[in-house]
Amino acid sequence: MKCHVPGPNVKVLGRTIHALARFGDELYLESLADCILLRTLNASESAYAMLKFNRNFFSYFNYNYYATEDNEGLKCKISMKSALNCFKSPAHMDKQVENLEIKLDPEQCKLIFQFKCKHGIVKTHFISILDSKVMDAVYTKDLVPNRITSSQRILSEAIGNFQNSDDQVTLEALSQTILLRNYIDSNADLSKIIRTQINIRSVEFDSYIIGSETIITFTAKEFKALLAFAEALSLPIQIQFESTGKPVVFIIHNSSTIEAHFVLATSKPDNATQGTSTQNSSRVEKSKRKDSNLVQESASKKLHLDMEISKCLDEDSHLFNFVDIPCDVVDKNNCDNIVDSEKTCVNNSVMSAMDCDNIPASPTSKTMIKSVFKRCFESTFDPRSIQRVVLAENSDSE
């Protein structure tokens, strides 16, 4: 195989390689009689991409330059990282490269990219061939009931509202509208996740045919990659899908030169589980509100109880409660006897206290001692650290 790519088309080829690099780590190349096919597949085998470059994309094209016995074009597999090294800055390649020559030499097992730049500069890249086999995917795109043709700008603006952490996108196709929302796992904590949903009416699309309403979920990384590729080429996107579990196909093509198929596997979102999780979250919020109300009610009750206790303490702040006994209920003589006996007891207790040689010390609170001699109770206290300064001398020598 040998072909020449003119300068303006080198930029398109470079953007193609960068778009395929976001799908897979290996690049499959196959030369046919009227075109060249580039294919890749991601590691989880959930996304497949195929780009077809027709003969008029090249200024010179010979699919069987190195003649073989079966008269077929050559097939090879190369590393995607090696292909990226050849197209490091595709946005400016049309201003630097005048022509690109691609050769596949089976004898050397090398794929050669030779860039002929301005001012006579020639850059040659030799890429080792890893395998001589090709890879293809089986999918249906002609008999599907759902077909949508959209400008890349509408979908790019819609997906721009999603978070970078969103791994999957759910597309719900209705009769008059399309709903795009981020997929949320049923086991995820909904209080820490941002839910995004975009509603696009059917009049916003170039064509809108929905034969059967369905909901599909696919990966967001590859979807953003194909949108970026369509935006770089300023081409519309055709979305063709059938039902949940069957792949969705995104087609980007120019009628004469290039055609790209991006096939993404789909899965069905667990709406019942998401609804249940939503209900559970609402129940959790209600329980939280109920608990907060209970806490507030208990706090108010506690405050009321504390006020009653403080009131009782204020009323019973004395050590003894004196009760006045009315004399009209008790005999007057008895009242006089009681008063006289109380006076006698008090006088006796005072005299006995004065006659005692050992007068009992007044009760001392431990908390008061600790507050006065605070340093003495510290574990790091050292008596030697105290400076012995006499503030008041003894009155006598003894």
Q: Confirm whether pTM is higher than 0.85.
A: no
Rounded mean pLDDT for each run of 10 residues along the chain, 398 residues in total? 90 93 93 91 91 93 71 82 89 86 83 91 92 80 89 92 88 93 78 86 93 92 93 93 91 91 83 41 46 50 50 43 44 48 48 51 55 62 64 63
At 7, is the secondary structure helix, strand, or coil? helix
pLDDT of residue 359: 56
SS (H, E, C) 384-396: HHCCCCCCCCCCC
CA distance 180 to 173: 9
pLDDT of residue 5: 93
pLDDT of residue 237: 95
H or E, element range at 288: helix 271-315
pLDDT of residue 180: 93
pLDDT of residue 255: 79
CA distance 177 to 200: 6
Domains and CATH numbers, the chain: 1-137 (3.70.10.10), 142-269 (3.70.10.10)
Helix axes 7-21, 220-233, angle to 10 degrees: 170
pLDDT of residue 214: 92
CA distance 132 to 1: 14
pLDDT of residue 96: 86
H or E, element range at 216: strand 214-219
pLDDT of residue 92: 80
